[in-house]
Chains A and B, each alone.
Chain A
């Protein structure tokens, strides 16, 4: 099992009447609700929490990309990842990911990911999302029905840039580059493991299978509702005649651990409510630009996960959110049982643990994270023993890595340098 501690980085100061006074948390969210001075502490706290997860033995720490979004103040995940590459020791740096159709040219992603892989000593997991319609179309202006073609070209260019050892010309429809020759290139060979976040596009299943990429379903509605989508994926894996390694798939799940089920409700329900009621308040007009999804996908009935459940999230109580599996919360034993159901039910080896939720303060988040790491994670580690050696979808770091802060506290004197380099003073 691979557990990645994930933070969406929500803005924690959305007002109580946010829902009533605003039409959307995303795209056209009110500028006045963001306070740059307050964000200084928010960003640093969130990065501290990611670093804390590394010290507890999580397999990865995860970041992602959203734009103009009140629940994800991370338009550039690579900036956060760069900080993590320096300040964490062992965890994989899971960037899930860069919306590659948005980078001009996408070689930029090949370069920045290579830098992250080099700085971290080969700890990068590279995520290539198409990007939500909100991000890709409404915020970044990509033409919906051409987004996938542009994404595909960007992918081909990045992989070629990573794996080709001499300068080449790339004559794409969206990218005309006469001299592609990235410097640096990644440590991991032939390139860092690739995870593809998907939301039920059937074309994405085949794309992952064809390239040995891990398919990640990043949903907020929990594992019970994910059954249909994930079984569609496994059915396709079966049809294609490839192995059913659980590491071919990943799933994001909100997880909250306390001493008892009651304590979990007492400590966390207000933050869960903040997330589901305020953070997921997306104007339906931004959910799905016409042409963004393929006809095939629409026909399978996989609609936008941002279309809220009937009646809306606002009416869901703690009890409903936990019972319906949107959130897995409770005592270590409750969480263990439900995680086991999730892992077996969806056959997923990569879990993106959403352990910070909504406006949760750092102390509660640390408490929950520590309990999960110490009392839940060890009991789940041994699942899928048959696939324990399957490292196709995870990192291969250098054995010997350096850490930040290795330099001596003081600069040497001239005499010391002379001694070091054997020069007569």
Chain B
């Protein structure tokens, strides 16, 4: 994965780009990351890149990218993401979004239904059911995250803390700054309830849609998978056992397979 920059009207956007080895090509695919962000080492991105030309733009404020105060609400996020697709010179890419990225992808598909034919929503946010309230991730302490994000919390904790010295005050300071930049931005569409009216727009989606969910997702419980399936005409649901919200890490191959089935 190579880290590059593309200019949109409002802000320069950082994105990862990668594709199949020399001599091979694959369809263009845009991946929108979740609230935790994405790195060049992300196993899911790299697995997708074996068969696709992958573009993974960072939401402004994520990673080393510039913040964008003008992006405030759901419409801003949605149009910004279309601006990025346009700036990358892509037409009708396969659109894949995980968690917060899934919420944005669904909104993009709903606002411009004729510009998108293939959509993969992986444990997307965006709906709310009073009977199944989603955990307040903004009031969750770091040590509580593995339990919410992974089927195997112990292995998940090892992944989340790999290469980090949590006792180092310098790390802590950097962590707080990163958190404020990234989750501060995410909060604009996820805080305090990750719902901005998507329910009443889902019917507009025309893309062939696959919904992927880990059976052990404790952040956004699988009951929401059915709500998405019900709302999007003809959507296919792929439920993956022994996987949590980070299904893209825990069962990478199974998710890639579901995306590839979109054609």
Contacts and interface: CB of A to CB of B under 8 A. Distances in A.
Interface of A: 27, 137-138, 141, 143-146, 149, 283-286, 289-295, 298-299, 301, 303
B171 interface: no
B165 interface: no
A146 B188 contact: yes
Contacts of B138: 137-138, 144, 289-290
B166 to A, nearest CB: 14
Contacts of B186: 290
B140 A137 contact: no
B141 A291 contact: no
B184 interface: yes
Nearest to B69: A149
B139 A283 contact: yes
Contact of A145 (B173, B176, B185, B193): B185
Contacts of A303: 176
Contacts of B191: 137, 141, 143-144, 289, 291
Nearest to B138: A289
B182 interface: yes
A143 B187 contact: yes
B184 A145 contact: yes
Given A27-B139, A291-B191, A299-B173, 16 more contacts: A137-B138, A137-B192, A143-B188, A149-B69, A284-B141, A289-B187, A290-B179, A290-B180, A291-B180, A291-B184, A291-B187, A293-B180, A294-B180, A295-B180, A298-B173, A303-B176
Nearest to A297: B180
13 contacts: A141-B192, A141-B193, A143-B187, A143-B191, A143-B192, A145-B184, A285-B139, A289-B139, A290-B138, A291-B187, A291-B191, A293-B180, A303-B176
A291 B177 contact: no
A298 B192 contact: no
A286 B184 contact: no
Given A137-B191, A143-B188, A298 B180 contact: yes
A291 B193 CA distance: 16
Contacts of A295: 177, 180-181
A285 B184 contact: no
Contacts of A299: 173, 177
A295 B176 CA distance: 9
Nearest to A286: B139
A137 B177 CA distance: 18
Nearest to A173: B72
A292 B176 CA distance: 12
B92 to A, nearest CB: 33
B182 A290 contact: yes
A138 B181 CA distance: 18
B104 interface: no
Nearest to A289: B138
A294 B176 CA distance: 11
A116 B251 CA distance: 62
In the A-B complex, the 9 residue pairs with the smallest Cβ-Cβ separation, listed nearest first, are A291-B184, A290-B183, A145-B184, A285-B139, A141-B192, A290-B179, A144-B187, A291-B187, A290-B184
A146 B72 contact: yes
A290 B180 CA distance: 4
A292 B187 CA distance: 10
Given A146-B72, A291-B180, A298-B180, A138 B185 contact: no
Nearest to B144: A285
Interface in B146-189: 173, 176-177, 179-188
B183 to A, nearest CB: 3
A291 B183 contact: yes
Contact of B187 (A27, A145, A149): A145
A286 B140 CA distance: 8
Contacts of B139: 27, 138, 283, 285-286, 289
Contacts of B176: 298, 303
A298 B141 CA distance: 18
A69 to B, nearest CB: 15
A299 to B, nearest CB: 7
Interface-central residue, B139, B185, B188, B192, by most chain A CB under 10 Å: B139
A125 to B, nearest CB: 32
Contacts of B179: 290
Contacts of B181: 295
A287 B141 CA distance: 11
Contacts of B141: 284-285
A298 B177 contact: yes
B146 to A, nearest CB: 15
Contacts of A27: 139
A299 B193 CA distance: 28
Contact of A138 (B140, B177, B188, B192): B192
Contacts of B69: 149
A285 B187 contact: no
Interface string B188-214: 100111000000000000000000000
Contacts of B188: 143, 145-146
Nearest to A284: B141
A289 B69 CA distance: 18
